[in-house]
Structures are given as C-alpha cells and as structure tokens.
C-alpha cells in the first residue's frame, strides 16, 4: 500500500497532500545537490539505491530529486520544506541539518519492503520544524556497557525520529566507561571484567573511540552529551582510587543495583583535582555545547556538602567552555546562568526547578513515569523496572512537558529526553526492545506542535513501522496497544 504524505513520525507541522502530483521513481532517477547539501544527498541516494535497486547517481546539477540549502537566519536550523510533484522532488532547508531532518521524513515515504515496483512518492508539500531544539535519548553505559558498534546502530535508529542528542551516562557505582588521561585505573579497574550490574561487562570507551563516536554521531546530526555523575554514584571511582574516599580506606566493588550510598569526600582537596581533571578531559574530547555533571540521588552527601561541592564544580563546566546539565536535584543550589536542570521526578515537587526557570534557566523534561524507557510496559514485560510505574506506549505519549511542573512553562523548556537505564539490559537488542516504540512517541512530543498530536494517529503511524524495523533488524516491543501491520 502506498504511504500517505504525512504518514511520518514525528508528525510534521504542515502537510498538504496533492494526490494528482505523485512522483514515480524511474530507473534513471538521480539526486542533485552541491556544496553543503552534498553529504545529505549522498545519503539519500544510498537509501534510494537500497529501496529500488536502481543506480541512483548523485549529480552536481539539476536532477529529478533535488536538495538545496537556502540560508535563512529567521528559520530554525532544522526547518525543511519537501515538495513532491509529478516532475520531481525538491527538499529545501536553511542548513544541512534541516536537509537531514527532511531526509528522515522522505525515507518514511518510501515503502518498507525493498525492490517494490512501481515506487511512487505521494505528491504535495510538507513544511516542518521542531517544537523544541533539544530532543534527547539517554543510554546508561555504566550499568551495562555497549560497544561503539552498538552505539552507532542506536544513533542510526534514533536519528530516524529526529532525535538530535544522545546523552551517555558514562559513570556510576558499578563502572566507569570513558578513559581519562592521568587516572588510568578508572577504566583499567572499573571498566574491567564484571563491572556491569550482576557482574556483566567489561568495557569502556578509549578516548579515541569516544572521539570517533562523537564524529559519527555528528554525521547523523546527533550531539553527544557526556555525563559524569557527581558527587554520588561514585563507588567505581572509589574502588579504583581509595584516596577518593573520606577515610582513604578501600571500598568493596559493588555491582548490585542500589543507589545513593556513595559520595566523593567534599572536604578533601584531591576530590577537586580529580573532578577538574575529568571535566577538562571530557570537555576537550567533546565538541558539543553540553557537559552533564549528574548530581542525582546524592543521599550520602549532606545538603550543605552538596551545595559546597556543586558551587565549586558547576563553574568548571563553564571554565572549559561547556554548559552544565544536571539532574534536577542540582537546582537546590545557585546555578551559573547557563546551567540546565533535567527534571525526572514523578510528582511535581519544589526542587528549586521552578525558581531556576523563573531566573531564566532552561529545563529538560524527563519525567520518570512517562519518559523513562527502562520502566516495564506492563506486568508481563521481561525487562525493566517499575518504581515509576508501568509505562505503556500510550502513557509515554499522553502527557505534555509544558504541563509537567507549575512554574516551568513552554518558554522555559529546552526540550525533552527519554533516559534508558541499563540495570536489566544486556544487549543492543534489549535496548531496542525498551526504546521502540516508546522513543518515537517521545520524539513526537519534542518535535510536533502540541495541538497536532493525537494518540490514534500515532498508533496508526507506529503500526507501519513494524515491517520497517524488521527490515532494519531493529528489535521492538509488539505492544498489544498497536495493530501491527
Ligand atoms: C534512578 S532518576 C536513577 C538511576 C537509576 C534509575 C533506574 C535518576 C537520575 N537516577 O540511578 O538507574 O533510577 O530507573
């Protein structure tokens, strides 16, 4: 069955079908683009080759399928316009990033099955841009490590839904997953065998692997957001370096799923030497604007110590050229102007986030009962936790970030993020099972205008993804909420 223009996730802002103007992909089809548009055009040509089996050359001049960058500072960099007529397809955007967003729309208009002839693209015009600039996914590498190939695969899949940030939770009580020059035991000891939950593991990213991953993500217009969780969630640090405990006595290695029992010693100077080395190193390896410093569940740090620590550490992000993101607990302290609290709580509570928003801080919304991809779908889910409740696909969609917290309106939101913690996960296939189809629902919340969102429409559009994910080898949960096609 031919796709309808607009059968796309996330749903575009404006869709004007013109059924008299379908474009038929002929064997001599080519893709035309030059300059900044060339890389995205090359990718489009590859997708068309796979779908059609035709040669689909990419040419510099005019062609039936044409991509153009038209600079326009007034538009979102992710804006694009897709025109499909009987004579051809034109994709325009103010940046290559916008073209890439348009490419994700275009590829969903191709049939899921490859080599399906004749192949028509539905006629009409789509004009589109995001509601929020930040649409994120988070993956926990500390409780279970995922190798670069798995991470690249996940990036490929999430980018199809216009997710544009991947937050990597690189450190926790169990493991430390990024090589830090000068502190080799972090990864030699706490990235070694048995450092995942219940002894899974080993693994860490070398600085080179991390840099390569960041560069790969950039080709998908995904910004990597590295997280170093401080001052709690640090047992792996203290197991590797006993001088970073309060009394200098070595701690036991721990790979259970408890939280809140570890803390860096707030009164020891070596803590700040360590933290500054780590922040400087991570900042130097990361071209993106953000550095996540954790700050959550520091139950073994007193409120006063937490303030002392954060007041000293938060400015270090700025010192090395980054904006600090932290879990919303950090809003209890006076934040540097550019700092971004990430809200994860189930119930609205006075955590200082509304105060921070009133003071002009941007906020990322990740409420656990809606956006946590590690929550079970229902009682029968073989993977996942349930402390924030069961999160069906509908529940992950049927909420709005601007309604979540009094005092944190639309204008205060940088965007939304769907975190995936790994305590119960052991493979990329497990990650995919938890993320799909809920991550596309969150992606739509972050992109599509609120008034245009509709669960019945999303259900229908998700159903069409079954064959696509099968063709791509992507695991997903065949939730009974969706009539899979
Ligand atoms: C809470 S919410 C955590 C993580 C756990 C997760 C499991 C938050 C910022 N921290 O340490 O992995 O729950 O769902």
Name the residues annotated as catalytic: 297
End-to-end alpha carbon distance in the chain:
11
Tell me the backbone φ, ψ of residue 210, rounded to 5 degrees: -65, -50
In a domain, 461, yes or no: no
Does residue 173 share a domain with residue 66? Answer: no
Does residue 190 share a domain with residue 317? Answer: yes
C-beta atoms surrounding 360 within 10 Å: 9
Q: What's 260's domain CATH number?
A: 3.20.20.80
Which residue, 135, 133, 142, is CA-closest to 169?
A: 142
Which residue, 374, 377, 393, is CA-closest to 463?
A: 393
Question: What is the predicted ipTM?
Answer: 0.98
Does residue 237 share a domain with residue 88? Answer: no
In a domain, 64, yes or no: yes
Calpha distance 244→211 (Å, rounded) = 27
Tell me the backbone φ, ψ of residue 96, rounded to 5 degrees: -65, -30
In a domain, 4, yes or no: no
pTM attached to this predicted model: 0.98
Q: List CB contacts of 218: < 8 A, sequence separation 6 or more.
A: 287
Tell the residue nearest (CA) to atom 5 of ligand 1.
Answer: 421
Does residue 174 share a domain with residue 298? Answer: yes
In a domain, 393, yes or no: yes
Identify the domain containing residue 263 by its residue range: 134-454
Calpha distance 465→208 (Å, rounded) = 35
Does residue 180 share a domain with residue 86? Answer: no
Tens place of pLDDT for every residue, the chain, 485 residues? 567 999 999 999 999 999 999 999 999 999 999 899 999 999 999 999 999 999 999 999 899 999 999 999 999 999 999 999 999 999 999 999 999 999 999 999 998 877 666 789 999 999 999 999 999 999 999 999 999 999 999 999 999 999 999 999 999 999 999 999 999 999 999 999 999 999 998 999 999 999 999 999 999 999 999 999 999 999 999 999 999 999 999 999 999 999 999 999 999 999 999 999 999 999 999 999 999 999 999 999 999 999 999 999 999 999 999 999 999 999 999 999 999 999 999 988 778 999 999 999 999 999 999 999 999 999 999 999 999 999 999 999 999 999 999 999 999 999 999 999 999 999 999 999 999 999 999 999 999 999 999 999 999 999 999 999 999 999 999 999 999 98
Tell the residue nearest (CA) to atom 12 of ligand 1.
Answer: 421
Distance 388 CA to ligand 1 centre (A): 10
Identify the domain boundary among 128, 146, 178.
128
Q: List CB contacts of 307: < 8 A, sequence separation 6 or more.
A: 332, 333
Does residue 158 share a domain with residue 182? Answer: yes
In a domain, 58, yes or no: yes
Distance 135 CA to ligand 1 centre (A): 19
Distance 221 CA to ligand 1 centre (A): 27
For 329, the token pair is 């607990």
Buried b (16+ CB within 10 A) or exposed e, 66-88: bbbbeeeeebbbbbbbbbbbeeb
Does residue 437 share a domain with residue 388? Answer: yes
Does residue 238 share a domain with residue 193? Answer: yes
In a domain, 297, yes or no: yes
Enumerate residues lining ligand 1, CB below 6 A. Answer: 259, 296-297, 327, 344, 368, 372, 374, 385, 421, 423
Identify the domain boundary among 65, 99, 128.
128
Does residue 150 share a domain with residue 74? Answer: no
**Domains identified in the chain, total number:** 2
Report the atom number in ligand 1 closest to the C-alpha of 257.
12
Q: What's 51's domain CATH number?
A: 3.30.379.10
Distance 4 CA to ligand 1 centre (A): 40
Does residue 441 share a domain with residue 364? Answer: yes
Tell the residue nearest (CA) to atom 13 of ligand 1.
Answer: 421
Peptide bond into 10 cis (omega under 30): yes
In a domain, 482, yes or no: no
Tell the residue nearest (CA) to atom 8 of ligand 1.
Answer: 296
For 272, the token pair is 């700040």
Does residue 190 share a domain with residue 105? Answer: no
In a domain, 481, yes or no: no
Report the atom number in ligand 1 closest to the C-alpha of 342.
9
Identify the domain boundary among 73, 98, 128.
128
Does residue 116 share a domain with residue 213? Answer: no
Calpha distance 234→172 (Å, rounded) = 6
């Amino acid at each position: 069955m031919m796709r309808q223009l607009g059968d796309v996730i996330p749903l575009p802002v404006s869709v004007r079908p013109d059924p008299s103007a379908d474009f038929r992909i002929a064997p001599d089809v080519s893709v035309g683009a030059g300059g900044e548009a060339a890389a995205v055009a090359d990718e489009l040509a590859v997708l068309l080759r796979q779908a059609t089996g035709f040669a689909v050359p990419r040419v510099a001049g005019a062609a039936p399928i044409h991509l153009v960058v038209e600079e326009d500072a007034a538009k979102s960099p992710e804006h694009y316009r897709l025109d499909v007529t009987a004579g051809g397809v034109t994709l325009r955007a103010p940046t290559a990033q916008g073209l890439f967003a348009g490419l994700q729309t275009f590829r969903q208009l191709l049939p899921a099955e490859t080599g399906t002839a004749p192949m028509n693209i539905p006629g009409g015009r789509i004009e589109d841009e995001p509601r929020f600039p930040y649409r994120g996914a988070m993956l926990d590498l500390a409780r279970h490590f995922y190798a670069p190939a798995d991470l690249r695969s996940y990036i490929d899949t999430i980018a199809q839904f216009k997710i544009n940030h991947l937050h990597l939770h690189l450190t926790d009580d169990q493991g430390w997953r990024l090589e830090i020059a000068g502190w080799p035991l972090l990864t030699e000891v706490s990235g070694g065998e048995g450092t995942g939950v219940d002894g899974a593991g080993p693994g860490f990213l070398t600085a080179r692997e991390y840099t390569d991953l960041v560069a790969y993500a950039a080709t998908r217009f995904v910004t990597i957001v590295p997280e170093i969780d401080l001052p709690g969630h640090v047992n792996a640090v203290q197991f590797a370096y006993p001088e970073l405990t309060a009394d200098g006595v070595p701690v036991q290695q721990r790979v259970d799923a408890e939280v809140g029992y570890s803390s860096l010693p707030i009164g020891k100077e070596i803590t700040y030497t360590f933290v500054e080395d780590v922040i400087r190193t991570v900042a130097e390896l990361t071209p993106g604007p953000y550095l996540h410093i954790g700050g959550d569940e520091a139950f073994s740090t007193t409120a006063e110590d937490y303030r002392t620590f954060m007041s000293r550490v938060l400015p270090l992000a700025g010192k090395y050229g980054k904006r600090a993101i932290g879990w919303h607990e950090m809003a209890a302290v006076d934040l540097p102007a550019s700092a971004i609290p990430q809200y994860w709580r189930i119930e609205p509570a006075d955590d200082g986030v509304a105060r921070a928003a009133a003071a002009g801080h941007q906020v990322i919304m990740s409420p656990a009962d809606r956006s946590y991809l590690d929550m079970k779908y229902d009682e029968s889910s073989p993977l996942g936790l349930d402390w924030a409740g069961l999160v069906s696909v509908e529940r992950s969609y049927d909420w709005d970030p601007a309604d979540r917290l009094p005092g944190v309106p639309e204008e205060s939101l940088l965007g939304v993020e769907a975190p995936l913690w790994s305590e119960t996960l052991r493979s990329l296939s497990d990650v995919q099972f938890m993320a799909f189809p809920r991550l596309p629902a969150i992606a739509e919340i972050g992109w599509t205008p609120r008034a245009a969102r509709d669960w019945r429409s999303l259900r229908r559009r998700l159903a069409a993804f079954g064959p696509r994910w099968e063709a791509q080898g992507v695991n997903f949960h065949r939730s009974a909420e969706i009539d899979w096609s």
